[in-house]
Amino acid sequence: MKRLWPFGVVAAVELIGVAADSTLLQWLAKPLLAPVLLVYLLRARRRVDPVAVGLVFATGGDIALLLSGDTAFLVGMGCFLGTQVAFITAFLRHRRPPIVAVATYLACWVAANLVLWNHLGPLRLPVLGYSLALTLMAAAAAGVSRRVALGGGLFLISDLLIGMDAAGARVPGHGLAVMTTYIAALLLITTGWVAARRARDAGGAGDPAYTPGPVPDNAR
């Protein structure tokens, strides 16, 4: 975890930039969030895996979303679609998620799109497709570990807030809420993935997968 201090610095600068509405600070920090975690991941894993690929796509998405306009929004969505597909690939290779997690997330996806549908205009179909990939990623994350599952859930919440804003339903403190949940999501997914793969490689229990019911003492 000592190797993560650069991420803490970058995340702090980004959140200060959002709170102060400083374009300069956001341009300095936001494009570095995923790359700093990518360096941590590569040092820990010493290989390029789908999670690493997902962080590369996230970097492109972060840069695109610093720009304004529907085109930039769609480009950012396309980059983050690559992130979700890469994460899904990694998580499903690791372990299948619990059926209850998949069913719950899909029900939330249906409900959210029904609520937002009439407010998204030309963004309806892109949001529908992207949100499905995001939902499946969050569900797949539940099969890896509790930490990764929490990260997947926070990623979904962060993007749901963006979708609500696009639909004209902006919440108070929107920018900070989006970035706080997104930063926490990337951190939890990356560190949780490293822990889960180390445990798998070592043949140990490690950071336990999220499963319904009690967890054995030796898995805590």
Nearest to 44 by CA among 213, 206, 196: 196
- Model confidence over 180-207: pLDDT tens digits? 999 999 999 999 999 999 988 887 544 5
Angle, helices 70-94 vs 124-141, to 10°: value is 30
What pLDDT does residue 171 have?
A: 81
What pLDDT does residue 215 have?
A: 40
Mean pLDDT of the 52-59 span:
98
What pLDDT does residue 168 have?
A: 75
- Model confidence over 71-97: pLDDT tens digits? 998 999 999 999 999 999 999 999 999
Residue boundaries of the structural domains of the chain:
2-198
Q: Computed from CA positions of residues 53, 6, 11, 144, in that sequence, does the dihedral angle turn out positive or negative?
A: positive
Query: Quick one: tokens of 170?
Result: 């902006």
Query: Could you tell me which residue, 204 or 101, shows the higher pLDDT?
Result: 101
How far, in Å, CA of 49 to CA of 45, rounded? 9
